Structure 1
Amino acid sequence: MDQTDKRKSAKPADFEAARAKLFALAYRMLGSRAEAEDIVQDAWLKWHAADASELRSSAAWLTTVTTHLAIDRLRHLRTERATRSNGWMPDPWVEGLAPSAEDLALQSVQMSYGVMLLLERLKPEERAAFVLHEAFDCDYVQIAEILAKTPANCRQMVHRAKARLQREGVPARRADPAAHARVVERLRAALEAQDRAGLVRLFCDVPSVISDAPETVDAVATADGAAATLSLRGRGKQMETLSMNGVSAVALMRDGEIDALLDISIGEHERIVALRIVTGAMRLAPATRVFGRAAVMRLLRPVISPPASVTMRGHFPVDIDA
């Protein structure tokens, strides 16, 4: 078997080995699970049709194709999203109780939900350069090869992207994960206790609030407004903490399903400076599938169900005094 035949026979395995990373890249580029799945499928079709003799590096080829497919798709989506009356928010990525390959790939390229939201302000190629550099640790030479530009040009794009994001509110330094988790737990506990005064103390005076429910944003202009809105929304629900886009967040649960997700950014003195509230049923459905009651029962079923080889009979002797 010559080298071309070997590469051809290895193509399916090479793609499967890269699939989770390609999905993570497409999701970071597009902010949509469904769109990311479509991009990965399109990348597979191009991979399947490609001449094996031209494939020197599977990973580099697939990354390049996926990036360009995502850029093209993002150009179309930007126009579509701009016309939505209630704005647009990325799909939250909630880590499942039993992490999938995609979960593990996204864990290795963490990018908070707040950053994902602000990436919408970048031009498609700027977003690609930023995501490849910041989330996938590609150097400027690698990015230049992917985008067909010079390394200097790619460095400039990443620099512009960082400057734009910082102007839009992305902190220069990431919050300490332990501090972030502490504030999330305080938020969860205050919501569970319906402690409005405690909720007010968690927020800065004028927090930034973004939601896919416009009426929520209109009601939340101050710390007191944020506390009142969250207290009202939390009534009759269970509060859980979970991992959302790599950081702790709060889920409001009703009857075993996620009713809302609360993602925060913290500033000085561990006060909440930004709150993002996700309520859309379509955005929350994937999160419920991996974190809701049904997901818990799927994990517990092997534990609570008797082995198939054991037969219980009604006349089985039981000594109640034993």
Structure 2
Amino acid sequence: MTPHDRTFEIHRPRLLALAYRMLGTRADAEDTVQDAWLRWRQADYAAVRDPAGWLVATVTRLAIDRLRLAHVARTDYIGPWLPEPLTIDESPGPAGRAEIAEQVSLAFLALLERLGPEERAAFLLREVFDYDYAQIAALLGQGEANCRQMVHRARERVQAGRARFPGVAPERHRELLERFLQASASGDRDAIMALLHADARLRSDGGGKTIAALRPLEGADRIARLYRAVARRVPREAQWRIGRVNGEAAGLRFLHGRLQMITTIVSDGERIVEVLNQMNPDKLRLH
């Protein structure tokens, strides 16, 4: 391995973390980092004063281009689009750092879909990767004042989506999830209603490849009625496990050893305000 290869490998985890948060799918993130690697191999190393900055800038620009194409493709997507998990852990071991799990939770990544490509990049570089505005401006080829405005607008949009639910202790989050999975598996409408906020929302991503709600469902009563109907059709052999998806507790439903669905929740600490079901088989590959 050459010194330049080692330089890239040192920065690969950070580059993948940025690309995944930008794009919301593992495959696109890995492809973007691979594209950056090919460009790095062709770079004039003598002219690169800051390898880390060069690599982050390259991944950011590649991710912006890919995200523009993805936004077009997702307008034709069948039903709601939800991010693909980066990590799926079938064991319920101890929680990782809460702030890291929050930064890559499926709910957080879904919120980022509200942002345009450059806005998303500016927000992530500032809020997650702690770049200053001068660095962001240089990376994006924008004025510093414009970058401040982009981050400000992005922060407002993300906070608007998170305003109803403050940080919740992982233990409480898991408890609500377990109770919800038990109630939904049995089709217990009253128990489901008791766990959901009156204005709760459900989104299911089947990608047109499995049966899933084609539109978000709003309201505890509608969600409870759906789960009551679904419970009658789920095979008895289906098994739920509590695992971790992107570091956060999640329900994993298996049938004959095959992962069928991932369920994650968002709560205000008392009730569940959002349920996210990832059911697209292309996004349920165990790595």
Query: What TM-score results when the alignment is normalised by the length of structure 1?
Result: 0.76
Structure 2 CA distance for partners of 1:154 and 1:108, relative to 1, 3 Å: farther
Deviation at 1:280, TM superposition (A): 0.8
Deviation at 1:215, TM superposition (A): 4.9
**RMSD of aligned Cα (Å):** 2.8
Amino acid at match of 2:6: A
Give the counterpart of 2:67 among 67, 74, 78.
Answer: 74
Deviation at 1:20, TM superposition (A): 1.8
Deviation at 1:155, TM superposition (A): 2.1
Amino acid at match of 1:46: R
Structure 2 CA distance for partners of 1:174 and 1:32, relative to 1, 3 Å: same
2: CA distance, partners of 1:178 / 1:145: 42
Deviation at 1:233, TM superposition (A): 4.1
Equivalent residue for 1:275?
Answer: 275
**CA radius of gyration, larger in:** 1
Structure 2 CA distance for partners of 1:64 and 1:173, relative to 1, 3 Å: farther
Report if the CA contact (8 A) 1:23-1:40 is conserved: yes
Equivalent residue for 1:55?
Answer: 48
Amino acid at match of 2:30: E
| Structure 2: segments with no counterpart, 5+ residues | none
Structure 2 CA distance for partners of 1:230 and 1:108, relative to 1, 3 Å: closer
2: CA distance, partners of 1:163 / 1:39: 28
Deviation at 1:221, TM superposition (A): 4.0
2: CA distance, partners of 1:150 / 1:283: 37
Report if the CA contact (8 A) 1:242-1:250 is conserved: yes
Deviation at 1:210, TM superposition (A): 1.4
2: CA distance, partners of 1:195 / 1:215: 20
Equivalent residue for 2:33?
Answer: 40
1: CA distance, partners of 2:88 / 2:216: 30
SS at match of 1:136: coil
Equivalent residue for 2:151?
Answer: 158
Amino acid at match of 2:257: G
| Structure 1: segments with no counterpart, 5+ residues | 1-7, 291-322
Where do 1:92-241 residues align within 5 Å?
A: 92-96=85-89, 107=100, 110-169=103-162, 171=164, 173-191=166-184, 195-213=188-206, 215-216=212-213, 220-233=217-230, 235=234, 236=236, 237-241=238-242
More helix by share: 1
Report if the CA contact (8 A) 2:165-2:266 is conserved: no
| Percent of paired sites with the same residue | 37
Equivalent residue for 1:313?
Answer: none
For CA contacts below 8 A with separation 6 or more, give which structure has more relative contact order. 2
Structure 2 CA distance for partners of 1:159 and 1:246, relative to 1, 3 Å: farther
Equivalent residue for 2:22?
Answer: 29
Deviation at 1:193, TM superposition (A): 5.3
Number of residue pairs the alignment of both structures matches = 274
Amino acid at match of 1:130: F
2: CA distance, partners of 1:13 / 1:232: 55
